Structure 1
């Protein structure tokens, strides 16, 4: 149609949306901007332009686009939700919460807005309401609605004593590692806890105090009286900022595995041994903000007297071969099991990692860990603090502005040069 009618704003708009959905922002943005210029009274044009601007990290322009959409159509629930996301990307959390509430007032069954509200509330430390709204994830297909369907009732938190409970993760490895700790509280209340999980997690979660049994995915289900996803336990048990169960370590590694890990590290001699992880899964929705290239960490390798060990797996591990630090960074076996990663972490002096499962594994093992965080972090790291209420041995290094890894790395380098670690 554009070939025949190059100034057709509707065609420009829809073609721009298609390119946006494909991630082709350089093509999408001019089309969407031309459509808005031609028909500035179309709220949907402004809203979709905002989506593309946000994807291009043009947060200020995205905010303006969403506000333009809402000035034209104040009852546009999707635009209110998108405005909330843009505000949260700027760490304007209270304003984001208000925007999500506007969306839900207009459309109470808007599950994505309710999910986003829960994340903002938890980020802001408003746990009571945050946990309640967090259950919105259970109706979202991309967050596990169909991943685990077990017969029998969901546990409602009543009368745990003597009850056989089936618990299960529903999101990533990090979430499972973080929330499996609740089995200890349930066991102390008299419940018998069975955790259903992957082969990768099974040997680690089996060591948590209070886990009576681990049932691996694909095996026949053991008997139980009620079930519940791990990530619903904070709501059911009424976790507040003051009652987060933060006793660590709560995961253990066998001495056999640790002995093998010590052999891997032996050549380091007396030098402090630091593990490094710079990227999470590329499939994660926020990976472009939470991960960084190995090249950005180059200043750390200039600090003398440190033995560096990679904890990186996946495609990002291939960056080692092309790095000037390749001779200083010992690679990790690509086929290593999670329990072997845990054993290596248990024997390291310090772990430096981005926000990925390595941070949770190291925290659960009570290892000293520095977590490098993007400007707008995941809810569990909250805002304005350099410690974690979930993991006492973690220290957080936050971006002072979006996409500024340079200053984060500079602070880490300064801490290392100041003697944060002593020789063994």
Structure 2
């Protein structure tokens, strides 16, 4: 990682957002405008916002990163909508029901990789929103997404051991969850069958609405760094996040909490690859009845609230 990127990560983890924004501004000033939204690059490597003003303008928010990134940064869309004349969000269609639960007047459009929407007065990539708005991670209300909870028994714990293929070091053998699944009422939040003694051995449905309903119904979610973590955090569910020794930039390995999600606790490997040690700490904490913070008013965290001003294109 280049020095500038390392400094930015250090600033973000230290919650020194003015320094992070200053570094982003310096980086933006050195970019060649001809490389903006460069079609020769994979979508996740593109930069979009060129610094132009968006107040009172038609804004197009492009969601070029993964589902988890879109869920994480969707918290800033209401603040953008309060300043822009109109906000269109070009996002994977499977996320539209969740994004429609945001308390903001948004137009949702499906993201077709082969035929992206034409530019608007101002285009931004969704992960650029905190810099563009100069907004801190905790600037939004929680929960900022809503879903109708599935019918699960009280005390159910959701388990997810599998991250994306792009970083296999984030995943571990599900057998490590066996002591938890044997001692607690659990479901798997992975879309494949499991031999763990869970309520849904056939696996979690791949459909986003069904997954969100299961997550919204859990009293606790224990997950690796993947979309499930962001979904649980955005829905306001208590979440224990299991991280490798050197995690992604958004998680501070020296901390046990995170400004990104107030109901999330971090469990970081003490040595690279030591998932067994992480799970041992989780099992220990599960034996303490005061460790799990449940929300008895589930409607405040998981219930779907429609937004009349949101509509879907296509």
Considering the TM-score relative to the shorter chain, is it more than 0.5? yes
Could you say what secondary structure the match of 1:379 adopts? coil
Q: Which residue of structure 2 lines up, in the alignment, with residue 61 of structure 1?
A: none
Q: Distance in 1 between matches of 2:74 and 2:93?
A: 15
Among 153, 156, 179, the alignment partner of 2:51 is 156
**Is 1:343 aligned to residue 239 of structure 2?**
no
Is the Cα–Cα contact under 8 Å of residues 386 and 397 in structure 1 kept in the other structure?
yes
Counterparts of 1:190-339 in structure 2 under 5 Å? 190-218=84-112, 221=117, 224-240=120-136, 244-253=138-147, 255=148, 258=149, 261-262=150-151, 265=152, 268=153, 270=154, 272-282=155-165, 284=166, 286-288=167-169, 290-303=170-183, 306-313=184-191, 317-318=192-193, 320-321=194-195, 325=196, 327-331=197-201, 333=203, 335-339=205-209
Could you say what secondary structure the match of 1:414 adopts? helix
Gap change, CA 1:138 and 1:159, over 3 Å in 2: closer
Q: Distance in 1 between matches of 2:5 and 2:105?
A: 29
Among 109, 119, 122, the alignment partner of 2:12 is 122
Is the Cα–Cα contact under 8 Å of residues 349 and 367 in structure 1 kept in the other structure?
yes
Report how many aligned residue pairs link the two structures. Answer: 282
Gap change, CA 1:121 and 1:422, over 3 Å in 2: closer
Could you say what secondary structure the match of 1:176 adopts? helix
- In the superposition, the TM-score normalised over structure 2's length comes to 0.78
Gap change, CA 1:340 and 1:332, over 3 Å in 2: farther
RCO higher in structure (CA 8 A, sep ≥6): 2
Gap change, CA 1:334 and 1:133, over 3 Å in 2: farther
Deviates more, 1:377-386 or 1:126-135: 126-135
Could you say what secondary structure the match of 1:352 adopts? strand
Q: Distance in 2 between matches of 1:312 and 1:166?
A: 32
Offset of residue 384 of structure 1: 1.6
Counterparts of 1:23-102 in structure 2 under 5 Å? 100-101=2-3
Q: Which residue of structure 2 lines up, in the alignment, with residue 12 of structure 1?
A: none
Is the Cα–Cα contact under 8 Å of residues 352 and 372 in structure 1 kept in the other structure?
yes
Is the Cα–Cα contact under 8 Å of residues 186 and 210 in structure 1 kept in the other structure?
no
**Is 1:178 aligned to residue 72 of structure 2?**
yes
Q: Which residue of structure 1 lines up, in the alignment, with residue 249 of structure 2?
A: 379
The two structures, once aligned, show a CA RMSD in angstroms of 3.1
Q: Distance in 2 between matches of 1:173 and 1:337?
A: 13
Offset of residue 412 of structure 1: 0.9
Offset of residue 133 of structure 1: 7.0
* Higher Cα radius of gyration: 1
Is the Cα–Cα contact under 8 Å of residues 280 and 291 in structure 1 kept in the other structure?
yes
Offset of residue 281 of structure 1: 1.6
Could you say what secondary structure the match of 2:135 adopts? coil
Among 413, 416, 420, the alignment partner of 2:283 is 413
Q: Which residue of structure 1 lines up, in the alignment, with residue 311 of structure 2?
A: none
Gap change, CA 1:415 and 1:220, over 3 Å in 2: closer
Q: Which has the higher helix share?
A: 1
Structure 2: state its 5+ residue gaps: 297-314
Is the Cα–Cα contact under 8 Å of residues 205 and 211 in structure 2 kept in the other structure?
no
Could you say what secondary structure the match of 1:413 adopts? helix
Is the Cα–Cα contact under 8 Å of residues 311 and 331 in structure 1 kept in the other structure?
no
Offset of residue 353 of structure 1: 0.4
Q: Distance in 2 between matches of 1:190 and 1:378?
A: 31
Q: Distance in 2 between matches of 1:351 and 1:138?
A: 36
